[in-house]
Amino acid sequence: MTHAIDKTNFCNKQTRVALRNCGIIDPENIDEYIARDGYQALAKVLKTMTPEQVIKVILDSGLRGRGGAGFPTGRKWQLARQIVPDADQKYVCCNADEGDPGAFMDRSVLEGDPHALLEAMAIAGFAIGATQGYIYVRAEYPVAVKRLDIAIRQAREYGLLGENIFDSGFSFDIDIRLGAGAFVCGEETALMTSIEGHRGEPRPRPPFPAEKGLFGKPSVLNNVETYANIAQIILNGPEWFASMGTERSKGTKVFALGGKINNTGLVEIPMGTTLRTVIEDIGGGIPNGKRFKAAQTGGPSGGCIPAEHFDIPIDYDNLISIGSMMGSGGLIVMDEDNCMVDIAKFFLEFTVDESCGKCTPCRIGNRRLLEMLTKITEGKATLEDLDKMEKLCYYIKENSLCGLGQTAPNPVLSTLRYFRDEYISHIVDKTCPASVCKKLLKFTITDNCKGCTLCARKCPVNAISGAVKQKHVIDQDKCIKCGVCMDSCKFSAIEKK
Amino acid sequence: MEDLINLKINGIDVSVPKGTTVLEAARQANIKIPTLCYLKDINAIGACRICVVEVKGARSLVASCVYPVSEGMEVYTNSAKVLQSRKTTLELILSNHERKCLSCVRSLNCELQALAREYGVDEDTFSGEKTKYDIEDTNPCIVRDNNKCILCRRCVAVCNHNQGVGVIGTNNRGFATDIGCAFNMDLKDAACIGCGQCVVNCPTGALSEKDDTAIVWNAINDPSKHVVVAPAPSVRVQIGECFDMPIGTNTEGKLVAALRRLGFDKVFDVDTAADITIMEEGTEFIDRLKNNKTLPLITSCSPGWIKYCEHYFPEFIPNLSSCKSPQGMYGALMKTYYAEKSGIDPKDIFVVSIMPCTAKKFERGREGYMTDGLADIDAALTVRELSRMIKKAGIDFVGLPDEEFDPIFGIATGAAHIFGVTGGVMEAALRTVVEVLEGKESEDIEYRDVRGFDGIKEASYNVAGTEVKLAVVSGTANAGKLLKMIKEGKADYHFIEVMACPGGCINGGGQPIHDAYTRDTVDIRGLRSEAIYSHDEKSVLRKSHLNPVVKEIYDSYLENPGSHKAHHILHTTYIARGK
Amino acid sequence: MKSIEELNAVKEKTLARLNGNTVRIVVGMATCGIAAGAKPVFDALKEETEKRGLENVVVSQTGCIGMCKYEPLVDVYVPGHEKVTYVFVSPEKARRIIDEHIVGGQIAEDITVASVE
């Protein structure tokens, strides 16, 4: 029997690279980071390597962006280094604007190991030829902002940021820019537009940031988790990193486990781990003995993985092939009580709310899509509507300006792919199989009713009538489906179907 | 030799310079790709998605207005997917568009309507919630109806980049996104200069001029009113376009005939006032130059520019000419000189001006545009409003005979005609000032250095032994640039002409509106300006001081240019306004 | 800092401090921990160690260990012993940890991670 958290099932199946210092060191003390080999990678790079060698190491490691799309990080750096060789200024940016609902791995790194980020950004600066970095962090992360601020000050005091670092002639500094929490500002061009002080809206690509990024200069943007791997790759070598994971997805990935799962929290696993291992072994399974229905990955841009793919090794390409995506690493578990139409609606509501409003397909198309989904959940849609909705999904993907719009219909398409029968039930049978969609629910009183009158007294719209000690009746025309009667009944006499 | 990129568009080989967009490349191959938000040199943001095309190998459709060509690229502008996508985009836009097309001021001159017809859209494909807005009509020049806005942002771009004003922008986000002033401030409270460039850049009926035709109809129909009217210099080369005449047709005679048929009691010419402006402003310039007073002198004909200066560069107010604009001089003389001559009580004279400009509506209401307690101008109509009146009155404009202005205030010189184009006021002033300073008649009176459409033009002439340095700017963003250079000591002039609208009045906020494709492919300004210069060339009198009507007005009434009486009637003052 | 030697010197000095004879009590103070009440726990641990004059005990903070559902989490490092993780720590439990584990040398087994696993 152990009393140490690292020995629990939750922890011992994990491999911690990005999170290696989280929960170990004091994030406000640079010495503790240095004690865990902090800034050794930067020293190695500046003292013994050329920018090209650094880029080669990152390329060889196979590291791909952890923010969503999985673009090879080394390739990104290489483009930023080469595409405009005579640029007078370049920038290194960090996307710390974590916005997926339920995802908080970046926050964990920012709060638990901020120097890992600073060190990696300095290495990226050296690799591409930049002297200035910006961390774009959402203002809703006050603890992260405070610790980043302390970390930057400490690094400057030690001369690990600033002029002539390690007497190498290389200078690099970092500033923080606060985001107001718009989800679209996680899109790279919108993020840069926001740093420049404008309304955070995406710009058309090309030109790509490697050519014309922040303030029109060649720029690299990586997310926090990507940077958190860099120093380890430099110190342990690309082979070490590439030894973890699958053929085309190397290293580890952090997931934020949420939803219907026993152990909610952050887990870091080697790429290629199966969903089963994550959910059953690390996550401790589904509470209350309920049946697993699907796992949602990739946040509002992602999709659902049904039970049939429970044993698929999780990596970038496998998730794409089954209609989902890695995204930034949110993993929400759903059981039999979840309605998949409702889940799709939830994510679409999020993107509709977060659309910047610049392009037509996203601004109006997603709104109309949401209205169609709502119609389905209210039992008012026809099969023709379903057909029209599917076409609209593909139109939006094909025509939107940025990644937010292009991926917004994914939760709908993915649930349609695996759970079309649930859509059909809503449309044809006018029922919600998981009993979630309110407009399709019917509350009725069974013979268990003792006539205690409690439900009638609790009902906010006086929809329940009946004499004392006699079976009560719900007036379906009045009922607003709030469920108060069911919660208050002491005899389990109210049925929801 | 530029790098040429070779690509195929719809199977046709095209070679274009590197950096060209797919849209421009297609136009060179005579393939028209529809647009809504794109406007050459003004707005290229890839927002509306109407211009999408298929590029072989691309992940999704691309917006051709912002997508650069690349070697070996294969583009399809009319594939089934492209056509269906454009149709869906239009149907989505229409699902949140107030479809009062029958009564819309832009009906039949609306880019959205034209595309909807071309693509055979079904307005009812998508139903759902619509955004609802109050009509914003607080500003004396411009009305915004966001219920018809398609969020192309052409107005925002032109206001910000070309005019350097930037009082409108994007508010809210997603489905609730709208265009307006920051914090939804009223446009009347913002530092809007009323230039109307937003209106002429709007593809739909979301922006329009404040319609003053009703008060003009009322005046015409009021027997107690003596209603006089006069068009500005550029109006005669613009209004024919409202009746499908070729761009750049001078229809002065038909315009006079139409105005008379509308029932105006007298049809006069603002050009006559323009000649008087030269007499006053020329005198002011010579006085400032000879007596070492504040220089550079900056022209004051363009009310958008005046308001810009008052808001953004109040430190230059002492440099502004104290002359009222030609509109103001015309109005003031109507209620003084003309009233006296004709024996009509000035209170009964209703003065209407026809302007290529929306800012004239604001200028009309300025405190400094009143003489002896009466407003100089009672209504300032744009060319578009006048064309609607002519159509409503059932007048066949194209078939009208040529008629002449009423002579008492209806004779003008070539110098006045060219006021309608950038550099015109400067050239007109030089024609008079040089002769006065040199004391002899000039042989060459065409000052070609100040002509053309460069945003900032400079010239320098030796006049009677003095090197006179001049600048001519159009577009208030350019004016801002020039004033900043002067403040920083990087530029130095004696005399500057500023027009708020790029190219001057021929591109004013009150001109006839053309769709984006015509604007991008036809040199509208060039054609209109040719018509103006040709009018000047054909004029017998080409110098303001030779205008017999002007002479008569000074001899019999104003005494001489710059006299006390002239100042009382023809000059004004300015006020510093906040940003 | 101009050389790797300087960096290594800081590393050695800090390792010596962390691995020395000091008992370290580390509170998970990421947002998840703070939201679950880590701040009063941290204060209680500080107050209790000061009150009892425990000179060889340091209370410090760290980021998120990942098991958010058990927050607030407190790790106790006693030299020569395996780390002990306490879960759902409250100020009262914090005082128990000082009293039983730090002073008394007995792990408060009913509130460690083993009690909930």
- Residues of chain C with Cβ-Cβ distance to A331 below 8 Å are none
- Nearest of B515, B530, B506, B562 to residue B233 by alpha carbon: B506
Output the pLDDT for position C53. 93
Nearest to C66 among A23, A34, A159 (CB): A23
Indicate contact of B with C: 3+ CB pairs under 8 A: no
Give the chains touching C; criterion: ≥3 Cβ pairs < 8 Å: A
What phi, psi does A328 have (nearest 5°)?
-90, -5
Distance CA B21, CA A15 (A): 48
Task: Please give the helix or strand (H or E) that residue B381 lies within, else none.
Answer: strand B379-382
Is the pLDDT confidence value at B88 over 90? yes
| Matching fold, domains A340-429 and A442-496 | no
pLDDT average, residue stretch A14-26 = 94
Q: A 105-124 residues with CB below 8 A of C?
A: 107-109, 111-113
The per-residue pLDDT for A217 is: 97
Which of chain B's residues have a Cβ under 8 Å away from the Cβ of A400?
49, 60
Q: What CATH number belongs to B4-78?
A: 3.10.20.740
Query: Nearest Cβ partner of B63 from A201, A204, A363?
Result: A204
CATH class of C22-115: alpha beta
Q: Taking Cα atoms as reference points, which of C69, C52, C70 lies closest to residue C111?
A: C70
Name the band, by pLDDT with cuts 50, 70 and 90, for residue A2.
confident
**Partner C contacted by A467 (CB < 8 A):** no
The closest CB to that of A364, out of B50, B84, B95, belongs to B95
Q: Closest CB to A353: pick one of B88, B150, B174.
A: B174
pLDDT tens digits along A143-178: 999 999 999 999 999 999 999 999 999 999 999 999
- State yes or no: pLDDT of B247 exceeds 70: yes
Give A6's contacts in chain C (Cβ within 8 Å). 83
Tell the residue number behind the tokens 């446009």, with chain if given: B187
Give which of A203, A325, A358 to mutate to test B binding, by max B Cβ within 10 Å.
Answer: A358
Residues of A in contact with C67 (CB under 8 A): 5, 8, 10-11, 263, 265
Mutate to test the interface with A, among C15, C77, C117 (most CBs of A within 10 A): C117
Reduced DSSP (H G I as helix, E B as strand, rest coil) percent helix, strand, coil of chain A, to 5? 45, 15, 40
Give A295's strand partners: A305, A333
| A23/C69 CB distance under 8 A | no
Would you put residue A471 in left (φ > 0), alpha (ψ -120 to 50) or beta? beta
Verify whether the Cβ–Cβ distance A364 to B175 is below 8 Å. yes
Size of chain B in residues:
579
**Terminal C-alpha separation, chain A:** 46
Q: Where does residue A289 rank: exposed (0-12), middle (13-18), buried (19+ CB within 10 A)?
A: exposed
Determine the Cα–Cα distance for residues A457 and A448; give it in Å rounded to an integer: 18
User: A328, A67 in Cβ contact below 8 A?
Assistant: yes
CATH topology of domain B128-209: Alpha-Beta Plaits (3.30.70)
Contact A22 C4 (CB under 8 A): no
What global pTM score does this model have? 0.94
So what's the architecture of A442-496 in CATH? 2-Layer Sandwich (3.30)
Residue A13 vs residues A10, A269, A273, B399, C115: alpha-carbon distances, Å: 7, 7, 10, 90, 20
B interface with A, Cβ–Cβ below 8 Å: 45-50, 52, 60-61, 63, 66-68, 81, 84-85, 88-89, 92-93, 95-96, 126, 128-129, 150-151, 169-170, 172-177
Q: Do C64 and A112 touch (CB under 8 A)?
A: yes
Nearest chain B residue to A373 by CA: give it: B128
Contacts of A361 in chain B (CB under 8 A): 49, 89, 92
Provide Rg for chain C, Cα atoms: 15
Nearest-Å Rg of the Cα atoms of chain B is 25
Q: How confident is the model at residue A101 (pLDDT cuts 50, 70, 90)?
A: confident
Residues of B in contact with A399 (CB under 8 A): 49, 52, 60-61, 85, 88-89
CB count, 10 Å around CB of B134? 9
CA-nearest residue to A41 within chain C is C4
Percent of chain B with pLDDT over 90: 98
Per residue in A389-435, pLDDT (tens digit) is 999 999 999 999 999 999 999 999 999 999 999 999 999 999 999 99
Helix extents (H) in B444-522: 476-487, 516-521
- The two tokens of residue A207 are 């030109």
- B542-552 mean pLDDT: 97
Mean pLDDT of A219-226: 97
Q: Which residues of C touch A20 (CB under 8 A)?
A: none
* Contact of B311 with B190, CB cutoff 8 Å: no
Kindly list the residues from chain B whose CB atom is less than 8 angstroms away from the CB atom of residue A359.
46-49
pLDDT at A360: 98
Model confidence at B153: pLDDT above 60: yes
> Which residue, among A364, A378, A391, would best test binding to B if mutated, counting the most B CBs under 10 Å from its CB?
A364
Q: What is the mean pLDDT of residues A237-247?
A: 97
Q: Does residue C33 belong to the interface with chain A, where contact is any CB pair within 8 Å?
A: no
Domain ranges for chain C: 22-115
A chain contacts of residue B126, beta-carbon cutoff 8 Å: 364, 368
In the chain, the amino acid numbered B33 is: I
Burial of A454 (0-12, 13-18, 19+ CB in 10 A): middle
Q: Do C62 and A3 touch (CB under 8 A)?
A: no
Q: Which fold has domain A340-429?
A: de novo design (two linked rop proteins) (1.20.1440)
Q: What is the mean pLDDT of chain C?
A: 94
Cα distance between residue B399 and residue A426, in whole Å: 66
Phi/psi for A133 (5° steps) reads: -125, 150
Percent of chain B with pLDDT strictly greater than 70: 100
Chain-chain contact of A264 with C107 (C-beta, under 8 angstroms): no
Share of chain A above pLDDT 70, in %: 100
Q: For chain C, say whether A305 makes contact (Cβ under 8 Å).
A: no
Tens of pLDDT, residue by residue over B466-505, are 999 999 999 999 999 999 999 999 999 999 999 999 999 9
Q: A399 is written with which tokens? A: 């025509």
Binning pLDDT at 50, 70 and 90, where does residue A95 land?
Answer: very high
Q: How far is B497 from chain A (nearest CA, A)?
A: 33
The reply to whether residue C31 touches residue A37, judged by beta carbons under 8 angstroms, is: no
pLDDT (average), residues C98-104: 95
Question: Best mutation site among C5, C12, C14 for testing chain A: the one with the most A CBs within 10 Å?
Answer: C14
Q: Do A399 and B85 touch (CB under 8 A)?
A: yes
Cβ contacts (< 8 Å) between A10 and chain C: which residues? 66-67
A1 falls in which pLDDT band (50, 70, 90)? low
Q: What one-character DSSP code corresponds to residue A279?
A: I
pLDDT at B2: 63
Facing residue for C31 by CB, picked from A107, A109, A166: A107
C64 interface with A at CB cutoff 8 Å: yes
Tell me the mean pLDDT in the region A87-100.
Answer: 94
Shortest alpha-carbon distance between residue A360 and chain B (Å): 5
Task: Encode A424-453: b = buried (16+ Cβ within 10 Å), e = exposed.
Answer: ebbbeeebbbbebbeebeebebeeebebbb
Cβ burial of A155 (10 Å; 0-12, 13-18, 19+) is: buried
- Partner residue facing A361 (CB), from B89, B96, B177: B89
Residues B447-455 have a mean pLDDT of 96
Q: Please return the burial class of A477, using the count of CB atoms within 10 Å of its CB with bins 0-12, 13-18 and 19+.
A: exposed
> Amino acid letter at B481?
K
Helix (H) or strand (E) holding A184: none
Q: Are strands A219-223 and A252-259 parallel, antiparallel or unpaired?
A: unpaired
At residue B63, the 3 state secondary structure works out as strand
Unique residue bearing structure tokens 């040398």: C105
Give the residue extent of every domain in chain A. 18-242, 252-335, 340-429, 442-496
Q: What is the pLDDT of residues B322-343, one digit of tens each?
A: 999 999 999 999 999 999 999 9
So what's the pLDDT on residue A9?
A: 82
**What is the end-to-end Cα distance of chain B in Å, rounded?**
47
User: How large is the average pLDDT for residues A214-243?
Assistant: 97
What ipTM was assigned to the predicted interfaces of this complex? 0.96
Determine the topology of domain A18-242 in CATH.
Rossmann fold (3.40.50)
Return the bridge partners of A292, or none: A335
Class of the domain covering B214-570: alpha beta
What would the mean pLDDT of B208-218 be, rounded to a whole number?
Answer: 98
Split at pLDDT 50, 70, 90, the class of B219 is: very high
C20 touches chain A (CB under 8 A): no
Q: What is the pLDDT of residues A445-456, one digit of tens each?
A: 999 999 999 999
Q: Does B84 score more than 70 pLDDT?
A: yes
| CB atoms inside a 10 Å sphere around CB A131 | 16
- What mean pLDDT is reported for chain B? 97
Q: Tell me the residues of chain A between 321 and 340 that have a Cβ less than 8 Å away from chain C.
A: none
Torsion-angle region of residue A169: left (phi > 0), alpha (psi -120 to 50) or beta? left
Is residue A53 within 8 Å of residue A123, measured between CB atoms? no
CB pairs under 8 A between A and C: 134
Q: Quick check: A41 and A160 in contact, CB under 8 A? A: no
Instruction: Give the confidence band of B557 by pLDDT, cuts at 50, 70, 90.
Output: very high
Q: Which of B61, B93, B169 sits opposite A360 (nearest CB)?
A: B93
Neighbours of chain B (3+ CB pairs under 8 A): A
Split at pLDDT 50, 70, 90, the class of B430 is very high
CB contact under 8 A, B63 and A367: no
Which residues of A are less than 8 Å from B49 in CB distance? 359-361, 399-401
Name which of B159, B137, B303 is nearest B208 in CA terms: B137
- Yes or no, beta carbons of A399 and B60 under 8 Å apart: yes
Query: For chain B, what are the domain ranges?
Result: 4-78, 128-209, 214-570
Q: Cβ contacts (< 8 Å) between A39 and chain C: which residues?
A: 7
Predicted confidence (pLDDT) per residue in B156-182, tens digit: 999 999 999 999 999 999 999 999 999
